[in-house]
Structure 1
Amino acid sequence: MNVIITGATGFVGQNLSKYLQSQYHDVQALSLRNSWALNKNSDAIIHLAGKAHDTANTSAEEEYFKVNRDLTIQLYDEFLNSDIKDFFYFSSVKATADIIDGVLDENHYSNPKTPYGKSKLEAENYLLSKKLPENKRLFIIRPCMIHGPGNKGNLNLLYKIVEKGIPWPLAGFENKRSFLNIDNLNFLIGQMLSKKDLPSGIYNFADDNTISTNELISTVNKALGKKAKLWTISKNLIEKVAGFGDKLHLPLNSERLKKLTESYIVSNQKIKSALEIDKLPFSVEEGLIKTIKSFKTK
């Protein structure tokens, strides 16, 4: 198949491009930064380009809508006027909810609170509002936190803490989180491209099982051959420190504390049922250990 990928230079784009090429797909990178045009001989568009959530909260609100909503609208309109069959829009679980009680599935009422989540949801709503020709398919992908070798972010922060022998001070927070290994993401997209009777719709992407942050710290230690140092410190004290972090732009702020300690469980049952698979190729532990060990080579 001929596949167009926007955002091909990003972490997901680079990994997905290599994977699809290994599966004998022809991949074409499309930059939306300047003037652009769709290759009319393509079979699918995978739209990854977007403005990521800024945990430091320094980005202008309108920038999210300009990139995540408006560019998506332009691209989708071109898709509708072309002979290209499939459109994959990479949204986010944060397009539907910033905080979850229980398990997040695709039927959850969407009420995002951040400019990032709102911009993603407005893009989704536009795509769903347009009449889709019978010969075309629209897939809205909502991944949870993606990781893999070469990925920077909160996992890299945890790695640096453990590597330096610093005790983990947030052991008093109990939670369960869903992650998404890049290898599982690649596998799912490959399966979706090949399954021609897969219905259009919204699909959550997540690993099969959840993991707590304390378990994650233990996994990082395991990958490094260290013994975990878990400290239980007053939650109120930690939250006050994070509050100071908001004002002083410290590494630990309220947004990052929430990401590290909140529960956020995402169901992947819909996509697995649609693809008729029982489980994904990699467990959450296998994926995390692979990611963590990649940090050691830097």
Structure 2
Amino acid sequence: MKAMITGATGFVGQGVLERLNQQAKWVPYLALRRPPSAEAIQAHSYTLVGDITPETDWHDALIDCQAVVHCAARVHVMDDPEVDPLAAFREANVAGTLNLARQAAESGIKRFVFISSIKVNGEQTSADRPFQADDTPAPSDPYGISKHEAEQGLLALAEETGMEVVIIRSPLVYGPGVKANFASLMRWLQKGVPLPLGAIHNQRSLVARGNLVDLIVTCLDHPDAANQIFLAGDGEDLSTTQLLRRMGQALGKPARLVPVPAGLLEAGAAVLGKRDVAQRLCGSLCVDIGKAQRLIGWQPPISIETALQETADAFLNEQNTLQAKDATP
């Protein structure tokens, strides 16, 4: 069977592509915005579709496919330069997604797997009340709102056309090759930079890319996944302090953490206009993966320890490669 993947050059999409290459049931087919530069992507069949808009033509990419994994999206960014961020998110994440889904239904696609975000549930939980898959959505930023609206449109389209939709909401994804804030934390830990995060008693859910990909592939054809919403996670929550300590161990660089009270950090961040950063570092955001466990028998196959070690090893290898290049005359 053939599965079309969008966003195959992105962090999650690359993981889906690698996983499908390791099994014989599904053959990946890529829908790309521009010609690929990576050799691993060039080796696959693909169609160039350009940007994801309400007018994008997906029909050539959908030929002979039985499923779609839609990873591509306009992603959440800090300090968004758009004058109207919500309109920009809606253009790609709502109108663009529903345009793809309608063409998928017309092409006879049986199942559409949509990678959404835990931001649809909200921004914060109490440590003892994790988000549930069937909670009332409460998105608060433009990205989360756009993902929620896309979910609503997809479920309505599923009811109208009979195409099966699976929605997977993910918290922060990490793993080998991770970039952005997670990579920055590893750089600080490797350099031995003291961090004022030694007294944070929150609880945060993360998901290793390998675990998220396993859930995605499971949902490609599990009969009980049809028209369901699942939350992804590692099945274990960590405080920011615990995460940094485990990351330091994986890097072979014990974390140098200063025990500054969370309230003081949050007050300082508010003064600096970084309230969102403090909320992610000090607040709790927990997810309950129980629905996926009960309904489709899914269990995260990779432990946090293993995933962090794999992430750290890849980071260190990359650093060593860069240092070797810099040392070459």
**Alignment match, 1:104:** 131
Confirm or deny that 1:233 pairs with 2:253: no
Rounded to whole Å, the distance in 1 between the matches of 2:264 and 2:235 is: 34
Pick one of 276, 279, 291 that aligns with 2:311: 291
Report if aligned partners of 1:211, 1:284 keep a CA contact under 8 Å in 2. Answer: no
| Corresponding letter in the other structure for 2:28 | V
Rounded to whole Å, the distance in 2 between the matches of 1:191 and 1:233 is: 42
Report if aligned partners of 2:166, 2:225 keep a CA contact under 8 Å in 1. Answer: no
Note the 1:206-245 alignment, pairs <5 A.
Answer: 206-245=233-272
| Corresponding letter in the other structure for 1:209 | E
TM-score between both structures, scaled by the size of structure 2: 0.83
| Corresponding letter in the other structure for 2:94 | R
**Alignment match, 2:110:** 85
Instruction: Report the alpha carbon displacement of residue 197 of structure 1 after superposing the two structures with TM.
Output: 4.5
**Alignment match, 2:79:** 56
Rounded to whole Å, the distance in 1 between the matches of 2:253 and 2:157 is: 54
Cα RMSD of the aligned pairs, angstroms, is 1.9
Structure 1 stretch displaced more, 185-194 or 95-104: 185-194
Count of matched residue positions in the alignment of Structure 1 and Structure 2: 291
**Alignment match, 2:29:** 28
Residue by residue over 1:76-118, the C-alpha shift from the partner in whole angstroms, topping out at 9 and shown as x without a partner, is 1112222110001111110121122311011211111100100
Instruction: Report the alpha carbon displacement of residue 136 of structure 1 after superposing the two structures with TM.
Output: 3.1
Report if aligned partners of 1:55, 1:255 keep a CA contact under 8 Å in 2. Answer: no
Rounded to whole Å, the distance in 1 between the matches of 2:251 and 2:308 is: 12
Report if aligned partners of 1:30, 1:36 keep a CA contact under 8 Å in 2. Answer: no
Sequence identity, in percent?
Answer: 29
TM-score between both structures, scaled by the size of structure 1: 0.91
**Alignment match, 1:71:** 96
Rounded to whole Å, the distance in 1 between the matches of 2:15 and 2:208 is: 11
Instruction: Report the alpha carbon displacement of residue 133 of structure 1 after superposing the two structures with TM.
Output: 6.2
| Corresponding letter in the other structure for 2:22 | S
Q: Secondary structure at the residue paired with 2:220?
A: helix
Instruction: Report the alpha carbon displacement of residue 161 of structure 1 after superposing the two structures with TM.
Output: 1.5
Instruction: Report the alpha carbon displacement of residue 257 of structure 1 after superposing the two structures with TM.
Output: 2.1
| Corresponding letter in the other structure for 1:82 | S
Instruction: Report the alpha carbon displacement of residue 56 of structure 1 after superposing the two structures with TM.
Output: 3.2
Classify 1:133/1:20 alpha carbon distance in 2 versus 1 (closer, same or farther; 3 Å). farther
Classify 1:134/1:67 alpha carbon distance in 2 versus 1 (closer, same or farther; 3 Å). closer
Report if aligned partners of 1:171, 1:232 keep a CA contact under 8 Å in 2. Answer: yes
Pick one of 212, 215, 228 that aligns with 1:201: 228
**Alignment match, 2:212:** 185
Instruction: Report the alpha carbon displacement of residue 8 of structure 1 after superposing the two structures with TM.
Output: 1.2
Unmatched 5+ stretches in structure 2: 33-48, 319-329
**Alignment match, 2:284:** 263
Higher RCO (CA 8 Å, separation ≥ 6 residues): 1
Report if aligned partners of 2:4, 2:69 keep a CA contact under 8 Å in 1. Answer: yes
| Corresponding letter in the other structure for 1:281 | P
Instruction: Report the alpha carbon displacement of residue 37 of structure 1 after superposing the two structures with TM.
Output: 2.3
Report if aligned partners of 1:104, 1:267 keep a CA contact under 8 Å in 2. Answer: yes
